[in-house]
Amino acid sequence: MSELPSSARVVIIGGGVVGASALYHLAMAGWRDCVLLEKNELTAGSTWHAAGNVPTFSSSWSIMNMQRYSAELYRQLGDAVDYPMNYHVTGSVRIGHSSERLQEFQRVKAMGRHQGMDLEVMTPEELRAVYPFLETHDLSGGLYDPYDGDIDPAQLTQALAKGSRMEGAHVERFCPVTGARREGGEWVLETPKGEIRCEYVVNAAGYYAQQVGRLFGREVPMMVMSHQYLLFDTIPELETWSRDAGHKLPLLRDVDSSYYLRQEKYGLNLGPYEGNCKAHWVTSDDPFPEDFSFQLYPDDLDRLEWHIGDAMARVPLLEQANLTRVINGPIPYTPDGNPLIGPMPGVPNAFEACVFTFGICQGGGAGKVLAEWITEGATEWDMWSCDPRRFTGFEDQEYCIAKGMEVYGHEYAMHFPHHFWPDGRDKKHGPLHDRMANAGAVFGAWNGWERAAWFARPGDDTSEEGTQTWRRDGPWAEAVAEECAVVRDAAGVLDLPGFSRFRLRGAEAADWLERQITGRVPKVGRVGLGYFADDKGRIVTEMSLARMGEDEFWLITAATAQSHDKEWLLAQLESGLELSDETDDWSCLIVTGPKSRGILAPLTDADLTRPWLSVQNARVAGAEAMLMRVSYAGELGWEIHARLADMPAIHEALMQTGAPMGLRPFGMFALDSLRIEKGYRAWKQDLSTDYTVLEAGLDRFVAFGKPDFRGKAALEAQAASGVSKRFVTLKIEAEEFDPPYMASLLHEGEVVGELTSAGWGHRVQACIGLGMLRDDLAEPGTELQVTGYGQTSAAVVLPDEPAWDPDNGRLRA
């Protein structure tokens, strides 16, 4: 029996499918000096009791990539490592009860096609042909996925572990990690079998991830749900059909009734996601157990009664079956239901690959992504959907429980573009929250900050139900049109709490910042956009750089980017420089529109004749503030940045002076419409590591004449060879629905690009899209088609300039 190594390059804590996959992918990447530590036996935890479904379906582009990769890996893994695998690729049908659900299916079908998968939307009659026991009288249709199926989780985990050992990696069972300390730039992990030193550590501890995280000073945002599935005995009719057909039934998911039904040998497996769900280990009378490796919870069938009845009505064959076993086990959830894959926030050389709700179908892709993070410092696909840094620390346990239960109870819910989930809200209020509420604000949450999405008028429908539509003309539509018109014709004011803001000081601050961004730093008193690239020239983040002095900058970025951008900056920060996070100390008001100068003039001592992209310290309504002459809305305007306590007085003065001139509040929905008309990119939509700075059409922000900056060599090579795809603005003839994120762009029936943003432009009275298109087609006038929710809309490439105010005359007024 081998002994625990005293050192390793990487140590993975947790021997479920995700930890085993991470070890396998590290070993396959040539990092063989890696060790996996499991406190019990491999598969202990969520893996051993998992149902083992392997869908490719996801409404998230990156998670679909991850699940598609898993399915591809599993199909050849058994042969690759010479290990028996019970992997049944049965296909699946997702049934829909409404036109909205069919639109979701059409969107996912298009995404699948873009990723090389042939998914098929079926009529009820076609569904019955592939699933003959299905009642279809009340269905609108369904989605057929030929790549779906199920796998034995234990065999999968053991196969990955065997493949890792074959490459030289080490697996140590019955070896819990009991302590961790930083020593000499390395991690020292304490176990009952001795200490092990390593360069990198990975928390892959499943529902124990929070306990493991605390060893590193990290509070993992998660909770644990109780999930049950029911196993039914052999059904003679099903056995006869299956033997005659020579295969199993496709896996059935009734996503509107929230359960799956899968053939298990010649019986059935029913797995509901019930609304009246239950969290575990969240109260004093249900404490977190010291060990819960191969245990289950007691059965709790009462809360599944409706789902069982509905499944029997949908597939009457189920009524013939005898219930033989109930599996009721723990499944971890993050507040948004996506796993944590990537750098452990605030902890050097530590990573997370944990809190997987669907670990079996995501495990293969997760191992690939995690290995890329460690070995290359970046991932092939932009994985912001799973990046641990998308959570910024406000997510306390109460919030995690509320959101985890909400996600579980709506596991198959449609994610409509203008809908906000209601649980766990009101975590962060800006200083003007009550004022916005009194003005009719309908709020949404951005990194926990409550911001006005739109302002309802008397009689407008503000119900949650009203937002559950893919249509453009929801209850907000007319109000948002009015808000955009006010910004165009008079002036609007937007309360924008939560901007992530960092103050950079130091004698070499400008030189250091110049090396971090692809372009040039602004001069004193000026504002500029800074693009931070990775070594491949891909876009890591975008920040507004306001230079307040020779050695002082404000770096301002998206609310959701707070942890991500702070870590990126601190990782590169040099001695002698000071970076402080002042996000929680300031707020922002945007005042924009042709009358904004006249409104501000009597309230400030600022020089309002200073040009576009200038910044100055001034007093507004008697309070100290920083005025930036910029406008994400694309009109004459200023951002007023001031301390929280001063914002009410500033806002009051603005409204008293501005209301007679037409000043009105506007919200985030209007801002999104306005910025798309200007071709302004949004982070993690139009700007992501899926694209380089040059592909994103940001050539003017690349200063090749600088001595050096991150990504320079890659961008120089791309500039010399030419980009294969390029950012474009499109006019889209979409009548009822704005095409979704990652809608496909087609030319002569071929997928040639994708949309990254789209929305109705109220100033130009057209649907405008931003996206990435094959370079040879990125010429003004090129005619394309855009897919979205089952409709195919004609589109045309616009000139390489904003659709609204192309010469920026209104901004510069």
DSSP 87-147: EE---EEEEESSHHHHHHHHHHHHHHHHTT---EEE-HHHHHHH-TT---TT--EEEEETT
What tens digit of pLDDT does each residue of 763-794 get?
A: 999 999 999 999 999 999 999 999 989 999 99
Q: What is the mean pLDDT of residues 82-101?
A: 97
pLDDT above 80 (res 226) = yes
Looking at residue 788, what is its pLDDT? Answer: 87
Distance of CA 160 to the CA centre of its chain: 27
Rounded Cα–Cα distance for residues 486 and 481 (Å): 9
For residue 110, give both structure tokens. Answer: 């298009």
The phi-psi region of residue 552 (left if phi > 0; otherwise alpha if psi is between -120 and 50; otherwise beta) is beta
Q: What is the mean pLDDT of residues 533-555?
A: 98
Using DSSP, state whether 375 is helix, strand or coil. Answer: helix
pLDDT above 50 (res 807) = yes
Using DSSP, state whether 591 is helix, strand or coil. Answer: strand
Rounded Cα–Cα distance for residues 668 and 760 (Å): 14
Rounded Cα–Cα distance for residues 44 and 38 (Å): 8
Quick count: other Cβ atoms within 10 Å of Cβ 524? 13
Quick count: other Cβ atoms within 10 Å of Cβ 94? 29
Looking at residue 1, what is its pLDDT? Answer: 44
**Strands of 539-549's sheet, edge to edge?**
527-533, 539-549, 552-557, 500-505, 578-581
Quick count: other Cβ atoms within 10 Å of Cβ 581? 16
pLDDT above 70 (res 705) = yes
What tens digit of pLDDT does each residue of 227-266 get?
A: 999 999 999 999 999 999 999 999 999 999 999 999 999 9
Whole-Å CA distances, 220 to 182, 448, 804? 19, 17, 44
Name the residue with tokens 């460690």.
374
The beta strands (E) that lie in 338-397 are given as: 340-343, 350-354
Looking at residue 754, what is its pLDDT? Answer: 98
For residue 131, give both structure tokens. Answer: 């699933």
Rounded Cα–Cα distance for residues 541 and 804 (Å): 25
Q: What is the mean pLDDT of residues 270-277?
A: 97
Rounded Cα–Cα distance for residues 302 and 73 (Å): 39
Quick count: other Cβ atoms within 10 Å of Cβ 319? 11
Contacts of 727 (CB under 8 A, 6+ apart): 686, 691, 695, 696, 697, 698, 770, 771, 772, 773
Q: What is the mean pLDDT of residues 482-498?
A: 98
Which amino acid is present at 292?
F
pLDDT above 70 (res 2) = no
DSSP conformation class of 157: H
What element of type H or E holds 272?
A: strand 267-272
Q: What is the mean pLDDT of residues 72-83?
A: 97
Quick count: other Cβ atoms within 10 Å of Cβ 151? 28
CB 613 within 8 A of CB 629: yes
Rounded Cα–Cα distance for residues 238 and 233 (Å): 11
pLDDT above 70 (res 3) = yes
CB 191 within 8 A of CB 55: no
Name the residue with tokens 């869908």.
55
Rounded Cα–Cα distance for residues 206 and 173 (Å): 16
Give the closest residue to 161 by CA, choosing from 46, 27, 268.
27
CB 786 within 8 A of CB 746: yes
Rounded Cα–Cα distance for residues 560 and 579 (Å): 19
What tens digit of pLDDT does each residue of 564-608 get?
A: 999 999 999 999 999 999 999 999 999 999 999 999 999 999 999
Looking at residue 747, what is its pLDDT? Answer: 98
Distance of CA 213 to the CA centre of its chain: 22
Percent of the chain scoring above 90 in pLDDT: 98
State the chain's mean pLDDT as an integer: 97
Q: What is the mean pLDDT of residues 700-704?
A: 98
Rounded Cα–Cα distance for residues 699 and 501 (Å): 26
pLDDT above 50 (res 90) = yes
Query: Which DSSP string corresponds to 185-236?
Result: TEEEEEETTEEEEEEEEEE--GGGHHHHHHTTT-----EEEEEEEEEE---H
pLDDT above 80 (res 547) = yes
Whole-Å CA distances, 330 to 232, 445, 473? 21, 29, 41
Using DSSP, state whether 267 is helix, strand or coil. Answer: strand
